[in-house]
Structure 1
């Protein structure tokens, strides 16, 4: 059914795997659409109560696929992409399941936004997390602004977004961006144990609490997604973005001019 992700349901537990391991699960336009479709399908799966989101291969997700952004053969239409990115973020936030982000390797850019949209974030000690859109002259999308602010507040969210700092697992935990750190190679096992613990809890009451807390924020989330889409389309047309992309591809230090 899907070509870039896998969605498996085992009774009350579902697993969604980002499955482009050859590119560290970088998200191209196909994966963004498939994630949006998968999350929207799970919104009607009341029998599924826990969802684990994980990455195949060496990483959770390296973020948006920059190579696809500059590929003249298959250019990504930013306006269409932003519709799917907004769809996936809203559907993720509205899911009637407890969502667990199971992070190993890297969770960067849009991959980090998806992780931050989950209810619980588990990460391996040697993982690297980064809201690193700024490096190519872009802003966070996938509700990155909203999810970061919800976790750590506006002042710290601004600092993290503006710096694009790559955070080792322990630093991310210290800043409140990760709920539980586990040793290298053990996040899959830890996520499974947590999922089973949740399924043996009075989870209907827990899900009711999630629904109440999230319902208050839907209008704000939709506003953030609208603004992110408008501003990301604008940023894609800036000289700084072109410089950021070309310097990334050429593996050199960018020279930004604020235009």
Structure 2
């Protein structure tokens, strides 16, 4: 692949945006290659967690503006997004946890891409912004769905309208970043979290993520029904039986969150 790197090791997949000469900007080739990887990932039942990260000193500077020059029809502008929406939706709905390890710039579509993750880790030099209006464009790559659910509608509007740049600490205060990690520890912290999921019940993790993703769009009755159905499936797994036996025999649990 030309613009990304993808590797799977010990049940952990790592997708690295690898176009540092342009601060990992999302050009047409990268968009296609990410789509190919997400399709491949969905078929690989050995993977228990995915890490999203960027090569060099930036996560992703957004869309490649050099590809936006000249005139576009409305149909062409619409098609640019219709081409990537299938893999964006698949990424958000992956049944495995996704951890974004963000260093440097996560601007525009790069910020949107980070928001597809379940957990965002950032270095002290990470920066987040949605400067779409500066180019006469609207925020894209799923951010109308992900950001309001994460920080609330008013704060999402403020970030989109103001185009304000958030440093890592401000992003953590708003609930976007979960942890701030030194740059030289970022990848290992992401991997330590990912490794924890390799010892968790894949069925329980998938059901938990599915319920959480649905929770803001459903009523109480629907969520209670999803809870009962999911718990029924989880109770029937060999993992649940083994976990109960380990507890009763005073053995340590397999799944433990890293400190």
Shorter-chain TM-score range: 0.7 to 0.9
- Given the two structures, how large is their TM-score scaled by the length of structure 1? 0.77
- Between the aligned partners of 1:213 and 1:40, the Cα distance in structure 2 is 23
1:195-234 to 2 correspondences below 5 Å: 195-215=194-214
**1:3 and 2:5 matched:** no
CA distance in 1, matches of 2:29, 2:169: 33
C-alpha distance in 2, partners of 1:96/1:49? 9
What residue is the counterpart of 2:221 in the other structure?
A: none
Tell me what 1:38 maps to.
37
> Distance in 1 between the 2:211 and 2:15 partners?
25
- Aligned equivalents of 1:105, 1:130: Cα separation in 2: 11
- For residues 4 and 45 of structure 2, the distance between their equivalents in structure 1, rounded to whole angstroms, comes to 21
Structure 1 vs Structure 2 CA RMSD: 2.0
Which structure has the larger Rg over C-alpha atoms?
A: 2
Q: Output the TM-score relative to the length of structure 2.
A: 0.77
Instruction: Quote how far apart the aligned CAs of 1:173 are.
Output: 0.3
* Worse-matched range after superposition: 38-47 or 53-62: 38-47
Structure 1 residues 71 and 8, CA gap change in structure 2 (3 angstroms): farther
Quote the offset at 1:13 in angstroms: 0.8
Aligned counterparts of 1:165 and 1:125: Cα–Cα separation in 2: 17
Unaligned runs of 5+ in 2: 219-259
Q: How does 1:168-247 map to 2 (within 5 A)?
A: 168-215=167-214
Q: CA deviation at 1:198?
A: 2.5
What corresponds to 2:53 in structure 1?
A: 54
Instruction: Structure 1 unaligned segments of length 5 or more: list them.
Output: 220-259
Q: Shift of the alpha carbon at 1:217?
A: 6.9
Deviations 1:73-93 (A, max 9, x none): xxxx53432122312320111
SS in 1 for 2:84: helix
> 2:234 corresponds to which residue?
none
